[in-house]
Structure 1
Amino acid sequence: MLLRNGRLAAWLAAGALCAATASAQSISKEYNSNAPDAPEWVENEAPAAPAFDMGRLVDVTVDAQGALRYGIDPATLQIGKDGVVRYVMVARSTSGAMTAMYEGIRCDTGEYKLYARYNVDKWTPVGKPEWKSLWESTRIKYPLAFARQGGCDGKARPTSVQDIVRQLKSPAQTVYPN
């Protein structure tokens, strides 16, 4: 009887291990785009660049020594079904010059994409927007700063636009006076 119970316990343990392994593989395929039989990620078509309001900008700290000040209008934030966080980032100089960029971030891959630029009161779409690493550019630092200050939740997209705004407005992240 004990031998039977021992075999039964071993059989049950082996079954539980198989079930746990299958479940882990399923989860891995869902979240890991590198899994061999995972469906290939497809980006949704980006909506047209949204209007933004300079009076609503929430600061994004990029470089305390820099000549530019960056901010995001919370009304432009979107979290797409494709997982892309889209936003309008505004760069302002101390002389009053301003430009804006309509972009997207993929938190899971650490990439950003520029869709359009705003200059002289109009949006100009980028010819062939491409995903670029947040970490490769030494010149363009604001997408990484935004991702770190609330645009991403680690390697995951944020759960809501409200979470992004709350993180951006947190006193620990805000350096510039209102």
Structure 2
Amino acid sequence: MIQTRFTRFSFLFAILCGASAPAEDSPFIHEPAPFTPSSVKPGTPWTEALTRLPPLPDDADLIEFRLDGSQGSFRYFIDGKHLSVGPDEVVRYTLVARSDTGARNLSFEGIRCTPQGRYRIFAYGTGSGFTPVNEDWQKIGPATERYRVELQRHHFCIPRAFKPRPLKDIKRSLQGHIAPRRNSGFLPD
């Protein structure tokens, strides 16, 4: 019995002494580096191109697009003349939102075709032109205005490719010449 107690005591003593050894003396790797396959090469980080503010849109250049479901109290238009896809793959557009009462809201915005989608407001429009704002890129999510969600998902971006559509296809889609189901990335029924 005394031999058993002595063995237990020496075992506990050895464990306690081993636990107080410095980490660099340990034969174990406590925080291994994450595994990266050899085929993965570091990419270049995304950089935003310089953005020039467009002139105010002419009514003749506006392309109306409809939201899925009920329209609500606004009608939405994109300035087709100054719609662009930049070298940084940002779709930049002037949005005109008209209310039923005749109020007109203008904004110059951009959408990135990332997996979650990102948007940025570059400027707000007034009667005399655009006034720049200093806002950062925001994630397109449940709290985002519906028109941005639909522009990103159905009109501007190629489903599952995370790239913008060619400009002519974006305009055709806004005009309703490409069926929404074709834009959604889902297979037809």
TM-score (ref. length: structure 2): 0.66
The alignment-based identity, stated in percent, is: 33
Which residue of the other structure, out of 61, 77, 84, is the alignment partner of 1:71?
A: 77
Q: After TM superposition, where is structure 1 displaced by more than 6 Å over at least 4 residues in a row?
A: none
User: Shift in Å at residue 51 of structure 1?
Assistant: 3.1
Larger relative contact order (CA 8 Å, sep ≥ 6): 1
Q: Name 1:15's counterpart in structure 2.
A: none
1:59 aligns with 2:64: yes
2:96 partner SS? strand
Which residue of the other structure, out of 157, 164, 173, is the alignment partner of 1:167?
A: 173
User: Shift in Å at residue 106 of structure 1?
Assistant: 0.5
Q: Name 1:123's counterpart in structure 2.
A: 130
Which residue of the other structure, out of 141, 144, 159, is the alignment partner of 2:146?
A: 141
Q: Name 1:111's counterpart in structure 2.
A: 118
Work out whether residues 65 and 175 of structure 2, in 8 Å CA contact, stay in contact via their aligned partners in 1.
no
Work out whether residues 108 and 124 of structure 2, in 8 Å CA contact, stay in contact via their aligned partners in 1.
yes
User: Shift in Å at residue 132 of structure 1?
Assistant: 0.7
Q: Name 2:96's counterpart in structure 1.
A: 90
Deviations 1:59-92 (A, max 9, x none): 2223524101101021111111011110001100
Whichever of the two has the greater Rg, that structure is: 2
Work out whether residues 61 and 145 of structure 1, in 8 Å CA contact, stay in contact via their aligned partners in 2.
no
2:110 partner SS? strand
Which amino acid in 1 is paired with 2:127? V
Query: Unmatched 5+ residue regions in structure 1?
Result: 1-20, 30-36, 174-178
Instruction: Identify the range of structure 1 (108-117 vs 128-137) with the bigger mean alpha-carbon deviation.
Output: 128-137
Cα–Cα, structure 1 residues 107 and 50, in superposed 2: closer, same or farther, change >3 Å?
farther
Work out whether residues 52 and 88 of structure 1, in 8 Å CA contact, stay in contact via their aligned partners in 2.
yes
1:82 partner SS? coil
Which amino acid in 2 is paired with 1:72? I
Q: Name 1:17's counterpart in structure 2.
A: none
TM-score (ref. length: structure 1): 0.70
Deviations 1:14-36 (A, max 9, x none): xxxxxxx97xx46xx5xxxxxxx
2:136 partner SS? coil
2:56 partner SS? coil
